[in-house]
Structure 1
Amino acid sequence: MMHRPNPLLDKLQEILPRIAENAAQAEQDRTVPEENIRLLKSVKFHRALQPKAYGGLEISLPELTDCIVAIAGACGGTAWAGSLLATHSHQMAMFSKQAQDEFWAEDPDATASSSIAPFGKVEETEGGVLFNGDMKWSSGCDHAEWAILGFLRNGENGEKIYSFGVVSRDDYEIEDDWYAAGMRSSGTKTLKIKPDTFIPEHRIEAAKDMMTGKSAGFGLYPDSKIFYAPYRPYFACGFAAIGLGIAERMLEVYRNITKNRVRAYTGAKVGHATPALMRLAESTHQVAAARAFMEKTWDEHKAMSEQQRYPTDEQLAFWRTNQAYAVKMCIEAVDRLFEAAGGSCWFSDNEAQRLFRDSHMTAAHAYTDYDVCKQILGRSLMGMEPDPTMV
């Protein structure tokens, strides 16, 4: 498929074959190989959304997502973990200048993993909070120097304020508990936070403030084209991009498998049969539609940021749910091909079964749960207030 001009994507194309070669070992190790991280850093992928003030690239969201799509075609887990390490820089740019200096001043290559579901507990203390708890689902944590944690703190009127706090690698240990059916190579492990870890106030931001231009870091980069934007759409778009990259790769794998496949009992050429042609055609159309749909959405993100306009609640509802619908289409396209690819594709060393498993994992994230997203969009279309129980 044709891609828009993208210098970072051009550099990535040179290293993707090696990342693809590492995919089987990455699954076995249940984490992204160190070599893959070194390769991504060699082209500065991890700096894609980092402020230029610290040496970052500050590329647009469409440029970033095109890169994530390409990485996912080589290794879904590497794309999952690597994209989060990169997109967290966009979120970090919304924290205070003091927090950013602590994060990047001495190590401009530093990245953060995250665990943002509010599993942990905090106790208010002078100058910040004391954090306790184990934080699951931290993709790419093996390769990060920091972590962004989600938690609830009490507001002035007793309301719960969903917030983020940044802690250093010294504040937690990693529990190697990632035994999953999909995205095995993402290294999505548990962070065991040390008891009573202190998070200073300058490293805490309310999620709502990051969605409305009220965070401490807002306005630090007035000439930037990417930081005049809510954090969540940038954070969430990677999941749909990964689903798209896996589906596009599945089209290639299916063609290669089916082209010369002969049925063992009859000798019939499967690739010349009408059902195989029809399945390939429909999945190709579906994946192309998913790409076009997401590119339109990503372009809207870019345009709004460049115009220094924040999206309306209706736009946010569409942006959030568009990606989930695109993931749904991509999974349907992958399933259509995999179910007719033959018994050999179920062997663990066959790429097709890895793509099948990883594809379904892209719909397992809270932001791509389409049952939730249908309710979010439906309420918006009917003019109803957002349901706070649906993140």
Structure 2
Amino acid sequence: MTVTSPFEPTHAAHAAHANASELKAYARSLIPKIRERSKATASLGRLPAETIADLEAGGLLSMTTPHRYGGGQVSVRTFLDVVSELGRADASVAWVAALTNVTTWCAATFFGEEAAKEVFCGDKPARVTGVLSPRKAVVRKVEGGYLIEEGLWGFNSGVYHATWDMLGIPLVDDAGKVVDQGVALIPIEQVKILNDWDVIGISGSGSSSVSVSNVFVPQARIASVTQAIEGNYLSTHLADESLYQVACMPMLAIILAFPALGLGVAALEIFLETLPRRSIQYSWYAKQSEAPITHLQVGEASAKIDAARAILERHADAIDASAASGIYMDFLERAKVRRDVGYAEKLIWEAVDLLASASGGSLASANNPLTKIWQDARVASLHGIVSPNTNFETYGRILCGNTPGTPFI
């Protein structure tokens, strides 16, 4: 893989802006063909090879790969802009792009240079997926690393297209006592995909369960999640690159709302596009567009989507600024990101549900594009990291002088 030289400081901001604009424009150019493949993607249960090729061709699966390894190394704001554009086309595509890029970021950030060279300088493109929390993981500390005797992980989004999998494991001492929570980077050839992804929403993301049996992982490919959450990253070779100083949990949380934002935008676009053809059954309104209730619904839904965008953009910019400053984002600000990501997800789901309800009985049709958006938006809003109630409670506990009740901040 070709190693690129860093931009000169005087040109860095201009180059980053140009790159961001190009990536967003490329993502937008894919919308028609991704929408055309949407049914096939859902039926397949993973992204078609053609879609992966399209994403790869525009650098949309290597946005968080370091420049030195040939990647885009984009800002969090650019990450948001690109993935939300893909979300306008198909939530499954946006979800895979979001999760692949954020886990690739983890691989670059959590681990040292030895692991980075394995992941990013191999013969295959560096596409990393993963799951932080195992359903089951039996490990032993052995000479030179860890042996995963048996492990099971669910919701491994994008794993069918991965070259590496980053899987959560307990870190144990020589006696087998759990001393920390960690992650292990494993070549995809050593991971078994269980092909159990059969769902009603985001069905093309291929978020299958996976298992591992008797796999040795060298110490260089083991990292502490606890240390990562506090910003104690092993990637000292990237210490001068701000993307790899971004706060851990804010990054892992905010990217989950990027596909949902695209869904909200698409829901409003499709509703308005089909509005001239609709009436309100069993009423005097031969044109739904003339009904005051429709004006109220569209006004409220659009406000919720715009508010969600403003929240996410504000936090994306704050995350970027904090990383660029060299000062790790403080605890309360990190908790606020989780709170507000939950609120943004709530707003987006409410907007989509409002527009879907305003569509009447046509929502029952599997061929109504708004039906799929409604299902995808509901599933997207159920991820544990973006759960509004959990995030509100966590932030409220902190403000009231209690412990947060979770280490994931």
TM-score (norm: length of structure 1): 0.94
Deviation for aligned residue 1:53: 1.2
| 2:348 is the alignment partner of 1:333 | no
Match of 1:184 among 203, 210, 215: 203
| Aligned pairs (5 A) from 1:1-391 | 6-94=21-109, 95-107=111-123, 109-119=125-135, 120-131=137-148, 132-154=150-172, 160-193=179-212, 195-217=213-235, 219-263=236-280, 268-388=286-406
Q: Could you list the per-position Cα deviations for residues 44-89 of structure 1 after superposition, in whole angstroms to 9, with x for gaps in the alignment?
A: 0111111111001111000111111110110001111121111112
Confirm or deny: 8 A CA contact 2:73 2:243 kept in the other structure.
Answer: yes
Q: Secondary structure at the match of 2:153?
A: strand
Comparing 114-123 with 282-291, greater Cα deviation is found at 114-123
Q: Secondary structure at the match of 2:123?
A: coil
- The one-letter code matched in structure 2 to 1:362 is A
Q: Could you list the per-position Cα deviations for residues 215-238 of structure 1 after superposition, in whole angstroms to 9, with x for gaps in the alignment?
A: 321x21233121112333222222
Deviation for aligned residue 1:366: 1.4
- The one-letter code matched in structure 2 to 1:81 is V
**Using the alignment, how far apart are the partners of 1:148 and 1:311 within structure 2?**
24
- The one-letter code matched in structure 1 to 2:123 is D
**Using the alignment, how far apart are the partners of 1:103 and 1:151 within structure 2?**
19
Deviation for aligned residue 1:200: 1.1
Confirm or deny: 8 A CA contact 2:171 2:179 kept in the other structure.
Answer: yes
**Using the alignment, how far apart are the partners of 1:318 and 1:192 within structure 2?**
34
**Using the alignment, how far apart are the partners of 2:216 and 2:38 within structure 1?**
38
Q: Secondary structure at the match of 1:57?
A: coil
Deviation for aligned residue 1:108: 6.1
Provide structure 1 residue ranges, at least 5 long, that are not aligned to the other structure: none
**Using the alignment, how far apart are the partners of 1:362 and 1:53 within structure 2?**
33
Deviation for aligned residue 1:116: 1.6
Deviation for aligned residue 1:167: 0.5
- The one-letter code matched in structure 2 to 1:174 is I
Deviation for aligned residue 1:164: 0.5
**Using the alignment, how far apart are the partners of 2:247 and 2:326 within structure 1?**
11
- Percent pairwise identity: 24
Q: Secondary structure at the match of 1:185?
A: helix
Q: Could you list the per-position Cα deviations for residues 69-121 of structure 1 after superposition, in whole angstroms to 9, with x for gaps in the alignment?
A: 11011000111112111111211112121111111112362211112212222
Confirm or deny: 8 A CA contact 2:134 2:154 kept in the other structure.
Answer: no
Deviation for aligned residue 1:37: 1.0
2:3 aligns to what?
Answer: none
Q: Secondary structure at the match of 1:147?
A: strand
**Using the alignment, how far apart are the partners of 2:406 and 2:251 within structure 1?**
20
Provide structure 2 residue ranges, at least 5 long, that are not aligned to the other structure: 1-16
Q: How many residues align?
A: 387
1:192/1:343 CA distance change after superposition, 3 Å: same
Q: Could you list the per-position Cα deviations for residues 167-200 of structure 1 after superposition, in whole angstroms to 9, with x for gaps in the alignment?
A: 111211211111111111111101121x211111
Confirm or deny: 8 A CA contact 1:93 1:100 kept in the other structure.
Answer: yes
Q: Secondary structure at the match of 1:117?
A: coil
- The one-letter code matched in structure 2 to 1:383 is G
Q: Secondary structure at the match of 1:6?
A: helix
- The one-letter code matched in structure 2 to 1:237 is I
TM-score (norm: length of structure 2): 0.90
**Using the alignment, how far apart are the partners of 1:224 and 1:390 within structure 2?**
24
Q: Secondary structure at the match of 2:315?
A: helix
1:33/1:257 CA distance change after superposition, 3 Å: same
**Using the alignment, how far apart are the partners of 2:355 and 2:48 within structure 1?**
29
Q: Secondary structure at the match of 2:242?
A: coil
Confirm or deny: 8 A CA contact 2:304 2:348 kept in the other structure.
Answer: yes
- The one-letter code matched in structure 2 to 1:190 is S
Q: How large is the RMSD of aligned CA atoms in angstroms? A: 2.0
**Using the alignment, how far apart are the partners of 1:88 and 1:107 within structure 2?**
19
Q: Could you list the per-position Cα deviations for residues 213-260 of structure 1 after superposition, in whole angstroms to 9, with x for gaps in the alignment?
A: 32321x212331211123332222221111111011100111122222
Q: Secondary structure at the match of 1:149?
A: strand
Confirm or deny: 8 A CA contact 1:8 1:45 kept in the other structure.
Answer: yes
- The one-letter code matched in structure 1 to 2:143 is E
